Amino acid sequence: MGIDASPFFVLYARRRYGAAMTSQHQNTPSRDQIRRAPKVLLHDHLDGGLRPGTIVELARDTGYAHLPETDPDKLGVWFREAADSGSLERYLETFSHTVGVMQTREALVRVAAECAEDLAEDGVVYAEVRYAPEQHLEGGLGLEEVVEAVNEGFRQGERRAGENGHRIRVGALLTAMRHAARALEIAELANRYRDLGVVGFDIAGAEAGYPPTRHLDAFEYLKRENNHFTIHAGEAFGLPSIWQALQWCGADRLGHGVRIIDDIQVLDDGSVKLGRLASYVRDKRIPLELCPSSNLQTGAADSYTDHPIGLLRRLHFRATVNTDNRLMSGTSMSREFDHLVEAFGYTLEDLQWFSVNAMKSAFIPFDERLAMINDVIKPGYAELKSEWLFKQTASTSGSAESED
C-alpha cells in the first residue's frame, strides 16, 4: 500500500536533497525562514481558526455559556485534545463551541479580521478561507448578512496586516454542510457574491454516509454558472468518495483527497503503479488540499513521516499544504512546513513548489494567480535562497572589523 512507501521516500529525499547538496540554499530552511517564506493556503476553516482568547471574550459578550474552559490557554489545550480523537465525527463535535460564539455580526467581523491578521503574521500571502453561512443564523442574521460580515472582517484584517508590514489577500469559500439540505441555496449565495469577496464553494462535514452526490443540483448549478468549487473528499472515506467528487460532481479541487494513496501501489523494487483514478488525478493536475496535522488527528495518517504527502510530492501530484483547522490542530502554515521539512528533508525549493502549486490552484483569475507567483512568491523565495551569500559577507566584514 502506498502509505508504507513513505519511509522509502524519506531515504530517497535525504539522498536526493540532503547528502547531495549542490548549493547552500538547498540546506534545511530555518524556522525563521519558513515563517518569512511567502505561503499560500487554500484549505482553512474560519470556524476552526479562532484565537482561544477571542472565544472566551465572545462567549462572555454573547452569553454563550457552554465553553468547557474559560481560561484561554486551557481552552486552547482542550480543543487540541478533544480534536485528537482519531475520528472525524468526534473531531467535528468541537466546532459547536466556535460556531456557538459566531452568531452576531460583530463576532463574525472580529473573527474574520483576526484570521486575516494571524495568517498574514505567519507569512501567508494568499488564502482562501471557508465557512458555512448556514451555521451562523442562530442569532437572527440572514445568509447575506453573514457573508457581508465575514467579508468586512477580511477587509479589515487585510488593512491592519498591511499597516503592520504584512501583505495578504483573502478570498472566502462558502461551505454547505453535507448532512444538511441547503447546498443549492448556498451555491446560489456563492454565485451572488462572486467578485464581491467570495471565490468559490465547498461541502464539508462528516463524510461517511453523506456522499457528495446528494448535492448534485448545487454542483450542476455552479458548473452552469462557470463557477468554482472544491469538495471535502477522501479524508475519512476512501476512493469512492474521491471518484464521486470528480466524476459525478465535477470538483475543481479535492479537500484533503489524501486517500488517493489507496490507488497507488509501491512495489518491492521501489517502482510505483498508479490505478486509473490516481492516474486521472495526476494527469488532470487535480489539486489536492492536503492537511497533514489534521489527518493525524482524524486518523487518516499515523505520523508526519508516514503521511502520503511525501510520496505524492515525489510523484508530482498537484499537492498543496494546508492547515484545515489551526485551533483544533494548534497549527499554522509555518508549523505544517516545519513538520514536513523535518519528516522529508524538504528545502526552500520544495516549499516554493508547494506554494506555487497552491497559487496555480487558487480560484481567482489566471492573471492574478500568475502575478502572485511571479511578483510575490518567486521573488520571496529568491530572497530567502540568497541569504547565505550575505551571511558570508557579514562574517567576513565582521572579522575585518575585529582586526581594526
Interface contacts to ligand NOS, rule CB under 6 A:
45, 47-48, 88, 92, 95, 99, 130-132, 135, 175, 204-205, 232, 235, 294, 324-325
- Residue 133 CB, nearest distance to Zn ion (Å)? 16
Is 215 annotated for ligand binding?
Answer: no
- Identity of the residue, 119 or 274, whose beta carbon is nearer to ligand NOS in the bound complex: 119
Residues 6+ apart with CB under 8 A from 343: 10, 303, 304, 305, 307, 310
Is 171 annotated for ligand binding?
Answer: no
- Identity of the residue, 254 or 362, whose beta carbon is nearer to ligand NOS in the bound complex: 254
- Residue 255 CB, nearest distance to ligand NOS (Å)? 7
Three-state DSSP class for 265? strand
* Residue 318: contacted member of ligand NOS, Zn ion, none (CB under 5 to 8 Å, by partner type): none
Residue reference for cell 448545487: 218
* Residue 148: contacted member of Zn ion, ligand NOS, none (CB under 5 to 8 Å, by partner type): none
- Identity of the residue, 94 or 347, whose beta carbon is nearer to ligand NOS in the bound complex: 94
* Residue 289: contacted member of Zn ion, ligand NOS, none (CB under 5 to 8 Å, by partner type): none
Is 45 annotated for ligand binding?
Answer: yes
- Identity of the residue, 188 or 324, whose beta carbon is nearer to Zn ion in the bound complex: 324
Question: How does DSSP assign 285-323, residue by residue?
Answer: TPPEEE-HHHHHHHTS-S-TTT-THHHHHHTT--EEE--
- Identity of the residue, 12 or 237, whose beta carbon is nearer to Zn ion in the bound complex: 237
Residue reference for cell 495526476: 282
Q: Residue with CB nearest Zn ion?
A: 324
| Burial classification of residue 155, based on how many CB atoms lie within 10 Å of its CB (0-12 exposed, 13-18 middle, 19 or more buried) | middle
* Residue 134: contacted member of ligand NOS, Zn ion, none (CB under 5 to 8 Å, by partner type): none
- Residue 384 CB, nearest distance to ligand NOS (Å)? 30
Is 232 annotated for ligand binding?
Answer: yes
* Residue 99: contacted member of ligand NOS, Zn ion, none (CB under 5 to 8 Å, by partner type): ligand NOS
- Residue 120 CB, nearest distance to Zn ion (Å)? 21
Considering only residues 324 through 343, tell me which ones interact with Zn ion, judged by CB under 5 A.
324
Q: How many residues bind Zn ion (CB under 5 A)?
A: 1
- Identity of the residue, 47 or 252, whose beta carbon is nearer to ligand NOS in the bound complex: 47
* Residue 235: contacted member of Zn ion, ligand NOS, none (CB under 5 to 8 Å, by partner type): ligand NOS
User: Which DSSP symbol is given to 20?
Assistant: T
Q: Which of 142, 61, 72 is nearest to 101 (CA)?
A: 61
User: Which DSSP symbol is given to 45?
Assistant: E
Positive/negative CA dihedral, 135, 116, 330, 105: negative
Residues with a catalytic annotation lie at 235
Whole-number Å distance between alpha carbons of 33 and 373: 18
Q: Which of 80, 40, 6 is nearest to 258 (CA)?
A: 6
Whole-number Å distance between alpha carbons of 129 and 150: 10
Residues 6+ apart with CB under 8 A from 52: 72, 73, 75, 76, 79, 327
- Identity of the residue, 26 or 135, whose beta carbon is nearer to ligand NOS in the bound complex: 135
Q: Residue with CB nearest ligand NOS?
A: 204
Question: How does DSSP assign 104-171, residue by residue?
Answer: SHHHHHHHHHHHHHHHHHTTEEEEEEEE-GGGS-TTS--HHHHHHHHHHHHHHHHHHHHHTT---EEE
* Residue 252: contacted member of ligand NOS, Zn ion, none (CB under 5 to 8 Å, by partner type): none
How far from chain centre, in Å, is Cα 17? 25
- Residue 204 CB, nearest distance to Zn ion (Å)? 6
Contact window for Zn ion (CB under 5 A) among 26-34, 65-73, 236-244, 316-324: 316-324
- Residue 199 CB, nearest distance to ligand NOS (Å)? 15
Whole-number Å distance between alpha carbons of 325 and 374: 29
Three-state DSSP class for 204? strand
Q: Which of 246, 248, 242, 247 is nearest to 262 (CA)?
A: 242
- Residue 307 CB, nearest distance to ligand NOS (Å)? 15
* Positions at the binding site for Zn(2+): 43, 45, 232, 324
| Residues at the contact surface with Zn ion, assessed by CB under 5 A | 324
* Positions at the binding site for substrate: 45, 47, 205
